[in-house]
Structure 1
Amino acid sequence: MLTFLSPLFLIGLASAAIPLIIHLTRSRRTKKMQFSTTRFFTDQFLRSYRMSQVKELLLLLVRMALCALFAVALAKPLLQPPGRSLLFGQSRSVVLVIDNSASMGYSEGGVTLLDRARNAARQVLDSLEQGHTASVVLAARRAGVPEVVFPELTPDLGDVRQAIDRLTATHLGTDLSGAVAVARRLLQPSKADSREIYVFSDLQATGWEFDQEKRAVKDNTLLFLVRTAPESVRNAGVTAVQYGTARPMLGVPFAVRAAVRNDGDEPRTVTARLFIDGDKDPVGERKVETAANRWQIVRFHHTFAKGGWHSGKVTIDADNLAADNERYFAFEVQDSIRVLAVNGAPSAVPRTDELFFFRTALTVGPEGESPVRVDVVNAANFESAKLNEYPLVVWANVESLPAGAVEKLEQYVDAGGNLLVFLGDHVNPEFYNRTLTGPTRLHGGLLPARLDVVVGQAASLPANPAGNPSIRPAHSVGQAGSSPHDVAFVAAVDYDHPALATFEDPKFGNLSNVSFRAFYRLEPTEGATVLMRSSAGGTSGGSPLLVEKRFGQGRTMLFASTVDRDWTNFPVRPSYLPWVYRLTSYLAQERLARLPFFLTGSRVPIPFSAGEGLPQVTVKKPDGTAGRAVLGNDPASPLEFADTTEPGVYVITEQGRESSPRLFVANLDGDESRFEPLLTSQAEAKDVFEDDSRVAFVADASRVAEASIAARRGFGLWDALLFAALTTALLEPWLANRISMRHYGPPGTVPTQAERRTGRIGRRPAGARAQPASGAASETSFS
């Protein structure tokens, strides 16, 4: 509906009659006279005269339109939205949703995005009058629901202004969709004529998580999306930290990998630094070159000299957004591990014993001490072993086990234990495939792969040993290894796996020089992951050498060859010792160490021993203050800690165990470094919110007050009308001069005979004059 804010100015429409009055009063009326000698010219000149009248009428209409446009523009015409009434004294209820997430701390010219949001929110407050109500909802992602500054709409606008002035950017992620949902609930009880929600944010796409039900606007609430995004992005951040194992081992180099992302429009070079245990000096430093809108991995290595809990962080150079320039981590360095090893081929001669190299590798430690203790049993005694005392069980060339031992092992791994299996010449593949794999077994069986045939020929076996018909001669395999008897070597390694990440750097162990005289061809089962492949024996990139799978709460790994030198030269290669350490450390880690990084604002479950009752747990926050873990809603983890708004290292202290604290870290959501917007125009807003006319996108936060008026009262047309009036004012003199030149010619010119015949004056070169036609009177007026 069209209405006018200043209808009194519509009186000015009468001014459109002024050009008409002038035209009528100045019209020439000539006396008609008939000349017999010129009568034959009359018809032609009448046609010319009528054409000139039409063009003069067009000029008159332009002049009248100019006056009318100017008068209507002064009356301020307004297109009102459907269902809205023009009430200047209408009551209003407003909820200001202000994004105070980490990305709003981005600074340009000393002004942060949050500063822009505050200034725009103040504009909305300034437009409110006495009796209007307002509230503030903060869009930073917290445990539970977004923070509501005023639980109910308040008429005390001064308090609302003070709350806005006190806002600072947090280290939390963004939850715009949740904040808008809370704002709608606040407005539901309101009886105001106009209910409005203003979202002041950089409108990151990652801050919106809504389905079709949440996206639809189901009431008459106006939603304003006020964008305060940076004009140009120049920011790099540490968005993730990964490391080789969840718990490194004492004296073994430990790999830390950090992902550095450049979200700017130009390539950047930054310096990444690794800090350990709060030291002021970094233990590692790397230059990182990143392309625009790309990320790069930087790697560090560190060796811990003592066990227990350690923490650290990776930092980069300061830039426009300080919140994402560092990322924390924490873990427990294992100073002692107990491993139960089942020896399938024991020997009185140490060097020929199946576990000789494995035990030697694990019992070699700094200064003669080892963090690993290996307890050995044979297959016959395995069923009586107390498996719950060991985080890891290792099979070495075990032929088979009784059915009761297999069920016991399944229960152990399902409850969180781990199993590492090495094959060999004593293995009974039929037992492995029937009892340890298959759909009838728990979780599809313990093994992550079925055993096919043995590729190659073991040096310690005859060509076709009895009881193992699957042995193949070496000539059936194409590519050889480092000796005439080798049939394959390590060809591919999954360096993204925590246990194998260190080997991407050859100085920590080169796996490519490990060769095999024989190995089992493996067929991975569903859900299994291949971690290493050989150079031969497979249909796609080589046969699997090392395969892993999840089994309940535990893990199982299967190595296709032997743990000793019978089928491979691996035990005498330098990479064998760190490889054994890595696998053992990875599989022996406790469940607590497998917890992922937590994001700031999230609820952190606090594990404890259920047999000892519910303990009193104190959590020391990064700023030095302390909080308490409280009862949560998850029966599996009754204790939780929710005050994780600050990034950094948190220390868990359990009453009665103050000397054995534990650590966890909270980090900023990596998506806060990304400034890709959800939408950038009104057209996109209609598309995202299903073409709802009650959603308004405001690209310029400084004009939010104007956008508010237009949405509540309508769209102002006066700017467009004033522009049309200016265009008409420029068109009128050009049109008038053109009509005059075409029909009357410049002063002092005499029409040619052709021009008299057509009634139109053409263009002539400068200085040219027309010649008078014979028998023509130049000053005669015809009618």
Structure 2
Amino acid sequence: MLFLNPWLLAGLGAVAVPIIIHLVRRQAAKPIEWGAMRFLFDTVAMRRRKMEWEDLLLMAARCLLLGLVALAIARPFVPPDSSVPWLFVLPAALVGIALLGGSFVLGGKAKWILRLSSAVLLLAAVGLILLERTLNLKRFEASGRRDVALVIDASSSMELSMDGKTVFTRAVEEAKQLVKEAPRGTAFLVVLGGPAPEAKTAAPLTHRADVLGVLDSLRPIGGTFRAHEALGVATLGLAEGTNASKEIVVFTDAQRTGWRFDNPNAWDGLGEAWKAMPSKPKLLLRDFGVSSSLRNVSIAGVETSRSIVGTDREVTLRVTVENTGTEAVTPGPVSLEIGGAKVGEKPVGLLVAGQKETVEFRHKFSQPGPQAVAARLDARDDLSADDKAERVIHVRGNLPVLLVDGNPAGSFFERAAGYSAFALAPSSNLRRGRTAGEGYLMDPEVVPAPELKEEDLEDRAVIVLADVPRLPERLASKIAAKIADGTGLLVIAGPRVEAAFYNQWTGGDGPLLPMPLGEIAVDAEGVSPSPATFLHEAVALFKDEKNSDLATAKVKQWHKTGEPTGGVQAAAFANGDPFLAAKNYGNGRTLLATCAFDARSGNLPALRGFVPLLHELVAWTAGRGAELNVDAAWSPSVALHGSSGGLTASYWPNREWKGKPKFVRTDPSIDFRWGDGKPDQRLPGDRFSIEWRGQLVAPATGEYELSAEVDDVLQLRLGDSQAFETGWGRKDLGKVMLEKGKPVPVQAKYYEEGGDAYVRLYWTPPGGSRQVIPAHAFRPEKPREAGEPMRVLDPTGLPRQAVLRPARVGRELAIDGAAVPGIYQLTPDEELQALLSLPAKATLPVAVLRDPGESHFEPRTPDDLALVRKHADLLQPASVGDMIGVLQGKGFGREIWKLLAVAGFILFLLESVLARWVSRNRRTAEDVRVDFGGDAVWGGRR
């Protein structure tokens, strides 16, 4: 317990007033000798003890009353994290005061016992108060000049309306008041918190007008308040300040989301950063809380019924509406917009607290390409920021599928890929060896396995190996690289496949199959797939037996499998053997079916569920392409499926590698033949140069033989010492020793003087044949330069820039600045158009998603705050006045003067009643019977 007005404790001297009056009155009473008084001594002695107790109670009550008044005027308060219980200090002080006053009424030993007890209690109370001051109030001591970081939560939940103002508005207003009333010499740093916290001032500013101007310009960002990251930004900014004392003030609501309380290690790192500062900063958490009565209905998300959406049929769009408040609400209708145009509207019924409702819309997209979809809700609630959800759906015009037929003899439906091709696109053209034609999302092409060429693999979304026994090493390596780059692979393991080949088939991301193939099992009666095991997303649609007849299939021969090699079982037969297995491989996906999809293995192709099953398998294997829906972060980035490996390539329009590169990208390998052409429209046909940088990772330990084909000059350096250079023609460069999995820095420089232009870099692995060094053997270096910026409009309509740059895996499209949830409209350059197959002059929408957790208002717990206190001196001021008190070196806490005032008023009433009762008992007219040994005398009359 401490005091806001400690000097007013001098008022406790008023306790001496009733004591002095008592002493003066007692000394004023003069003894008068009167013979008749000896007859009254016996009666007075009988009442003396009672009178002393009455005087004791009156004196204690009067001293205690004055003590309560003095303490209340001094404004006692209980500071945060008080280590001394005020319920002990305050009673000890008051009882000590009461005993001290009462000791002047009693006599003899009792007087000294009361005084000793009073001294012990008063000294204990004073000692505890001084201890509290030492342990706690020093946290508020003024230390002259200081740097203060103002962290303003700008998340979606801060737009909640309370008492006619949003929480964000109140936070800014209090921050401005704090700046205005802070002591001289205080410098302020402003950090706007959100999904990507941003320092609005590079360093703490002492000019208050500048700080107030920054605060006036702040606007809510939306998304989640990444508090831990915001504190990190504030710490870095405070380190730029010149003052030794540091403090961080966080203006936020009660949201737990975004604080990373589930990751204590992250707080350990922040705590170490605070310890390294000249003085460990105090953390003031100004929590505005949440109203106990909350009306809020939010849109939790928008999902599609299929992973691959095409223009060939309708798709179901599911909008989830949730009541995250405390009251039942009947919101208005949900509307669906596609490309900014409203396409539908549906009502939502009454939603009680915690209830979810799914509204479905069916829509057929007419144009391929990325489409911006937005769901809006007329909620009429306290928080409007979550009444909208947006996402981008990549609509496919067609999905090119290559089916490699491992049993091409016989009629169309006797072949290994016949039923699968017809299931994907039931067109008679397929039976004539042609493509299916327009109107089909799935665009299959069947190629007999013996006729497969490298050119057939280009521009395929999915490659299906239907009972293919084995592949040439060159094609197997090419397919592995393409799968790692984002192409899908579906292996249908019929009776002709050679398990040894598939089990040894590896690429840059390890074995391609999710599970190794074993021996063939045969059952004349056949086994059936078990829908209860269809837990993988590729087949989850068929888990309910009402949706398909797959449970009635009879498969008479299938492959046993071994332990998974990085994959998972997607479905099983009724006997427990795997039916399907899946695996993510680099940027792509692989899927294994352990039986053939033709009549040789059973009746599976004859079932009604076979067609949708094959569509779902191919759709999952194809993946979603570039994910244009990203989480909110600083510089939101879209990962592009270019190459899972490769080298960072810089291109110059001169032959000397001089100046700034014209552009930078990731090339999967050094394998180019431009002829008389040029690598890019931005380069000349002659006199250009290229530099490739990155790392070379060997798949096996041993001696590798390097060679090259080049026109005009190639310079190659491996590690720090091995350098090679070759000119026109095919040349052997030499041999190098490489260790499996150990990265070796690689740098290759090429220039073209004129005429024909080509460059290819080969290696011959130990025990292998000569081949172009594949993409999965390279790792690009961190880019030094990005490409030319592209124009972007963010959800608020403000212009930004985006660049296409190399990443650790492939390339990425990075948008500068902090992420504001919503749709970003980007104007792509030619390279991005080619990567995503965008039509000319089309804009690319990118959606930054809002975190649905912002609508649930999960509060912080005492355990959460205890984690923060382990690393920081945490204070929780309840008002801007408390914060100003901290900056001025004063304490703050829960004041208890009202409690003392009420106690004093009650004691005043009790003292009045007690005094009146004592007065009546001692009135001078009281009759006393005295026995003089003869006739009785009453009141002096016979």
TM-score by length of 2: 0.65
Equivalent of 1:472, from 523, 534, 554? 523
Asked whether the equivalents of residues 438 and 444 of structure 1 are also in contact (C-alpha less than 8 Å), the reply is no
Name whichever of 166-175 and 269-278 sits farther off.
269-278
What residue is the counterpart of 1:65 in the other structure? 64
Asked whether the equivalents of residues 530 and 548 of structure 1 are also in contact (C-alpha less than 8 Å), the reply is yes
Equivalent of 1:640, from 811, 814, 817? 814
Asked whether the equivalents of residues 3 and 77 of structure 1 are also in contact (C-alpha less than 8 Å), the reply is yes
Note closer, same or farther for the CA distance 1:171–1:721 as it changes in structure 2 (3 Å cut).
Answer: closer
Name whichever of 311-320 and 516-525 sits farther off.
516-525
Q: How does 1:611-650 map to 2 (within 5 A)?
A: 616=788, 618-621=790-793, 622=795, 626-630=799-803, 634=807, 636-637=810-811, 640-643=814-817, 644-645=819-820, 647-650=822-825
Separation in structure 1 between the aligned mates of residue 515 and residue 347 of structure 2, nearest angstrom: 40
Asked whether the equivalents of residues 495 and 502 of structure 1 are also in contact (C-alpha less than 8 Å), the reply is no
Equivalent of 2:269, from 213, 222, 232? 213
Note closer, same or farther for the CA distance 1:743–1:505 as it changes in structure 2 (3 Å cut).
Answer: same
Q: How does 1:349-388 map to 2 (within 5 A)?
A: 349-364=411-426, 369-382=439-452, 386-388=456-458
SS at structure 2 position matched to 1:471: strand
Separation in structure 1 between the aligned mates of residue 349 and residue 557 of structure 2, nearest angstrom: 41
Note closer, same or farther for the CA distance 1:349–1:661 as it changes in structure 2 (3 Å cut).
Answer: same
Aligned residues: 709
Q: Give the number of the structure whose residues are more often strand, by fraction.
A: 2
- Render the CA deviation track for 1:67-96: whole Å, top value 9, x for unaligned: 244335445578754546876x95454332
Note closer, same or farther for the CA distance 1:4–1:293 as it changes in structure 2 (3 Å cut).
Answer: closer
Asked whether the equivalents of residues 391 and 629 of structure 2 are also in contact (C-alpha less than 8 Å), the reply is no
Note closer, same or farther for the CA distance 1:294–1:408 as it changes in structure 2 (3 Å cut).
Answer: same
- Render the CA deviation track for 1:612-653: whole Å, top value 9, x for unaligned: 567645244245665432476846437522244351143342
Name whichever of 545-554 and 50-59 sits farther off.
50-59
- Render the CA deviation track for 1:434-488: whole Å, top value 9, x for unaligned: 43237998756332234567xxxxxxxxxxxxxx6x31242xxxxxxxxxxx642
Q: CA deviation at 1:549?
A: 0.9
Equivalent of 1:115, from 169, 172, 176? 169
What residue is the counterpart of 1:604 in the other structure? 637
Q: How does 1:440-589 map to 2 (within 5 A)?
A: 445-451=511-517, 470-474=521-525, 487-492=527-532, 494=534, 497=537, 499-500=538-539, 510-512=548-550, 514-518=552-556, 520=558, 525-534=564-573, 536-538=574-576, 543-589=577-623
Q: CA deviation at 1:490?
A: 4.7
What residue is the counterpart of 1:327 in the other structure? 389
What residue is the counterpart of 2:283 in the other structure? 223
Asked whether the equivalents of residues 301 and 320 of structure 2 are also in contact (C-alpha less than 8 Å), the reply is yes
Q: CA deviation at 1:148?
A: 2.5
Asked whether the equivalents of residues 359 and 374 of structure 1 are also in contact (C-alpha less than 8 Å), the reply is yes
Code of the aligned partner of 1:303: K
Note closer, same or farther for the CA distance 1:570–1:776 as it changes in structure 2 (3 Å cut).
Answer: farther
What residue is the counterpart of 1:183 in the other structure? 234
Separation in structure 1 between the aligned mates of residue 921 and residue 871 of structure 2, nearest angstrom: 57
What residue is the counterpart of 1:458 in the other structure? none
Report whether the alignment pairs 1:709 with 2:891: no
SS at structure 1 position matched to 2:590: strand
Note closer, same or farther for the CA distance 1:151–1:32 as it changes in structure 2 (3 Å cut).
Answer: farther
Code of the aligned partner of 2:511: G
What residue is the counterpart of 1:398 in the other structure? 468
Code of the aligned partner of 1:618: M
Q: CA deviation at 1:112?
A: 0.7
Q: CA deviation at 1:591?
A: 4.3
Report whether the alignment pairs 1:20 with 2:19: yes
Q: Give unpaired runs (5+ residues) of structure 1.
A: 454-467, 475-485, 757-773
SS at structure 1 position matched to 2:820: coil
SS at structure 2 position matched to 1:676: coil
Note closer, same or farther for the CA distance 1:348–1:495 as it changes in structure 2 (3 Å cut).
Answer: same
Separation in structure 2 between the aligned mates of residue 77 and residue 240 of structure 1, nearest angstrom: 51
Name whichever of 653-662 and 323-332 sits farther off.
653-662
Asked whether the equivalents of residues 249 and 585 of structure 1 are also in contact (C-alpha less than 8 Å), the reply is no
What residue is the counterpart of 2:492 in the other structure? 422
What residue is the counterpart of 1:263 in the other structure? 324
Separation in structure 2 between the aligned mates of residue 161 and residue 649 of structure 1, nearest angstrom: 30
- Render the CA deviation track for 1:104-147: whole Å, top value 9, x for unaligned: 111235321112212322331342355543332211232xxx32
Asked whether the equivalents of residues 635 and 814 of structure 2 are also in contact (C-alpha less than 8 Å), the reply is no
Separation in structure 2 between the aligned mates of residue 279 and residue 325 of structure 1, nearest angstrom: 18
Separation in structure 2 between the aligned mates of residue 5 and residue 598 of structure 1, nearest angstrom: 51
What residue is the counterpart of 1:672 in the other structure? 854
What residue is the counterpart of 1:767 in the other structure? none
- Render the CA deviation track for 1:268-289: whole Å, top value 9, x for unaligned: 565544332322232x647477
Note closer, same or farther for the CA distance 1:494–1:264 as it changes in structure 2 (3 Å cut).
Answer: farther
Q: CA deviation at 1:735?
A: 5.1
Asked whether the equivalents of residues 92 and 133 of structure 1 are also in contact (C-alpha less than 8 Å), the reply is yes
Note closer, same or farther for the CA distance 1:71–1:268 as it changes in structure 2 (3 Å cut).
Answer: closer
Q: Higher relative contact order at CA 8 Å, sep ≥6: structure 1 or structure 2?
A: 1
Note closer, same or farther for the CA distance 1:720–1:306 as it changes in structure 2 (3 Å cut).
Answer: closer
SS at structure 2 position matched to 1:323: coil
Separation in structure 2 between the aligned mates of residue 618 and residue 191 of structure 1, nearest angstrom: 39
What residue is the counterpart of 1:436 in the other structure? 502
- Render the CA deviation track for 1:20-41: whole Å, top value 9, x for unaligned: 23323445677687889979x9
SS at structure 2 position matched to 1:71: helix
Separation in structure 1 between the aligned mates of residue 454 and residue 897 of structure 2, nearest angstrom: 94
Asked whether the equivalents of residues 241 and 257 of structure 1 are also in contact (C-alpha less than 8 Å), the reply is yes
SS at structure 1 position matched to 2:463: strand
Separation in structure 1 between the aligned mates of residue 330 and residue 568 of structure 2, nearest angstrom: 36
Separation in structure 2 between the aligned mates of residue 749 and residue 570 of structure 1, nearest angstrom: 119
Asked whether the equivalents of residues 70 and 721 of structure 1 are also in contact (C-alpha less than 8 Å), the reply is no
TM-score by length of 1: 0.77
Report whether the alignment pairs 1:690 with 2:878: no
Name whichever of 352-361 and 406-415 sits farther off.
406-415
Asked whether the equivalents of residues 272 and 316 of structure 1 are also in contact (C-alpha less than 8 Å), the reply is yes
Separation in structure 2 between the aligned mates of residue 718 and residue 22 of structure 1, nearest angstrom: 37
SS at structure 1 position matched to 2:857: coil
Note closer, same or farther for the CA distance 1:579–1:691 as it changes in structure 2 (3 Å cut).
Answer: closer
Note closer, same or farther for the CA distance 1:394–1:776 as it changes in structure 2 (3 Å cut).
Answer: farther
SS at structure 2 position matched to 1:653: coil
Q: CA deviation at 1:333?
A: 2.3
Q: CA deviation at 1:257?
A: 4.2
SS at structure 1 position matched to 2:365: coil
Separation in structure 2 between the aligned mates of residue 437 and residue 212 of structure 1, nearest angstrom: 45
Note closer, same or farther for the CA distance 1:397–1:127 as it changes in structure 2 (3 Å cut).
Answer: same
Asked whether the equivalents of residues 422 and 560 of structure 1 are also in contact (C-alpha less than 8 Å), the reply is yes
Q: Give unpaired runs (5+ residues) of structure 2.
A: 78-131, 261-265, 428-435, 643-664, 668-678, 681-785, 834-839
Asked whether the equivalents of residues 249 and 285 of structure 2 are also in contact (C-alpha less than 8 Å), the reply is yes
Asked whether the equivalents of residues 392 and 629 of structure 2 are also in contact (C-alpha less than 8 Å), the reply is no
Separation in structure 2 between the aligned mates of residue 2 and residue 225 of structure 1, nearest angstrom: 21
CA RMSD of the aligned region, Å?
4.4
Equivalent of 2:903, from 714, 717, 727? 727
SS at structure 1 position matched to 2:523: coil
Separation in structure 2 between the aligned mates of residue 574 and residue 649 of structure 1, nearest angstrom: 43
Asked whether the equivalents of residues 503 and 510 of structure 1 are also in contact (C-alpha less than 8 Å), the reply is yes
SS at structure 1 position matched to 2:285: strand
Separation in structure 2 between the aligned mates of residue 176 and residue 201 of structure 1, nearest angstrom: 9
What residue is the counterpart of 1:159 in the other structure? 210
